[in-house]
Amino acid sequence: MKNFNINTLSSYTRIMMISIFVVITFLGCNEEDKVTSLWNGDYTPLPAPVITSISPATQGLAGIEEVTITGTNFSPNVGENFVYFGNTKGTVLQATTTSLLVKAPNVTGDSLNVRVVVQNALSTSNAITYKLLSAFRVVVEFGTGTTPSGITFDNAGNMYYFLGGIKKITPSGDTSSYAPKGAETFWASLKFGPDGALYAARSVAGIFRIMPGATPASWVTSSAGIGSTNDFDFDQNQNMWAAGNATIISRIKPDKSVKTFPSPAFVVRGVRVYNGYLYLSGRKDNKEGIWRAEILPNEDLGAIEPYFDFAAAGYSGDATSLAVSTDGVFYLGVNTQLNAGVEHIIVVRADGTSNILYPGVLEPKMKSKCQSLFWGPGQNIYYVRQIANPTEPPKEAIVEVYIGKTSAPYFGN
């Protein structure tokens, strides 16, 4: 008898034999051999989440805004809710069955679909269209080796800064030359005075006055007794208060008469008049921070007292320029000194609390500095970003930052 070889059979015959084998095998199984089903008949999926509203309505700041989503069928467990703005996931901070507090992701868009996904729910929520705006924008970016300095605005909303002379940018974005360069290589500070002229300081003993189309001219010099000046500001009586690397603070009246007040061991980089006090940022007694002195009724200066201790609050780097809002919150510029661990602007409140403005968004690399800042028209601060290392980003630029509130008065304007 020949040996049986299934390979010698036709395809049809082989299929028939395999089918018969399967049937016999199936019929030979008893009840105990049956495989238990993986399906859990008692499982009931959770209902789909529903979004009814988002606050703030319609738009928020990318990477910053804490958005409240109201609806139903959310999980009270934070880790079981997932919120997407377009394709990017936000961070759920708090959760109840009817409300989610979510930090928006750092992604911008005019029509991002916001959806909620809940663990163990078979479907996602409905979508609501939302806009995420950038908290800042680069107004002007400069090439390697090009260093801007000083920034200010006039009452018409025109911006001014130094780059080989004074440049002017209109609200519509047109750039022109306001005044040619003189002997200076930079300006530490620029501000308009009550007379409509542009004033400037550059870390020497003197204040300069700049008129349209003309090179800077000395306005007050060291012969009048003024000390080295990094910054200055005006009070409501049109007095200029100036300070810098000297051991004095100077008060300069409109007639250019000067009176000085002692400020030992104090390197001042920022000056701001607010609510009857002169605020000064810089380094005093080897400590960085903000100090203040009352402007007395006779226009003399009271004792200098500490206002904000930079290191005690956990920050490092150099305190540079100052801005202040109508509600008395200070915005302190920072030189991050090659990754010193802070970003460009620190928010300082009257109760002593503080925080980095927009952490991880404004300058996550922490390798550049805020050289000069000024509160522009509306709710934006503008500052000059200077880089620490020309081979690394970001580039030197003028940056606009949305604050959401307006400035306290600049009495010079």
Q: Give Cβ neighbours of residue 203 (< 8 Å, ≥ 6 apart).
A: 188, 228, 229, 230, 244, 245
Same domain, 126 and 201: no
Domain boundary among 133, 159, 176: 133
Q: pLDDT per residue over 259-286, tens digit each? A: 999 999 899 999 999 999 999 999 999 9
Considering the domain boundaries, does residue 103 fall inside one?
yes
Same domain, 214 and 350: yes
Q: pLDDT per residue over 127-145, tens digit each? A: 999 999 999 999 999 887 7
Q: pLDDT per residue over 212-258, tens digit each? A: 999 999 999 999 999 999 999 999 999 999 999 989 999 999 999 99
How many domains, in total, are found in the chain? 2
Q: pLDDT per residue over 20-54, tens digit each? A: 444 444 445 554 445 555 555 566 889 999 999 99
Q: pLDDT per residue over 152-163, tens digit each? A: 999 999 999 999
Considering the domain boundaries, does residue 5 fall inside one?
no
pLDDT band at 175 (very low <50, low <70, confident <90, very high): very high
Same domain, 158 and 120: no
Q: pLDDT per residue over 344-401, tens digit each? A: 899 999 999 999 999 878 765 656 788 999 999 999 999 998 876 666 667 889 999 9
Same domain, 255 and 236: yes
Same domain, 249 and 358: yes
Provide the residue range defining the domain that includes 288: 136-402
In this structure, how many other beta carbons lie within 10 angstroms of the beta carbon of residue 188? 24
pLDDT band at 316 (very low <50, low <70, confident <90, very high): confident
Contact 91, 72 (CB under 8 A): no
CATH number, domain containing residue 82:
2.60.40.10
Confidence (pLDDT) at 37: 54
Select the more confidently predicted residue: 92 or 146. 92
Same domain, 193 and 227: yes
Confidence (pLDDT) at 289: 95
Same domain, 257 and 288: yes
Same domain, 199 and 63: no
Considering the domain boundaries, does residue 13 fall inside one?
no
Same domain, 126 and 240: no
Confidence (pLDDT) at 78: 97
Record the pTM: 0.83
Same domain, 113 and 192: no
Considering the domain boundaries, does residue 327 fall inside one?
yes
Contact 99, 68 (CB under 8 A): yes
Mean of the pLDDT values across residues 292-298? 98
Strands (E), 87-194: 88-89, 91-95, 99-103, 109-118, 128-133, 136-141, 149-153, 159-162, 165-169, 175-180, 189-192
The answer to which of 175-179, 192-196, 313-317 has the lowest mean pLDDT is 313-317
* Mean pLDDT computed over every residue of the chain: 88
Q: What percent of the chain has pLDDT over 90?
A: 75
Q: Give Cβ neighbours of residue 89 (< 8 Å, ≥ 6 apart).
A: 82, 83, 105
Same domain, 105 and 162: no
Distance CA 321, CA 232 (A): 10
Same domain, 297 and 326: yes
Domain boundary among 79, 107, 133: 133
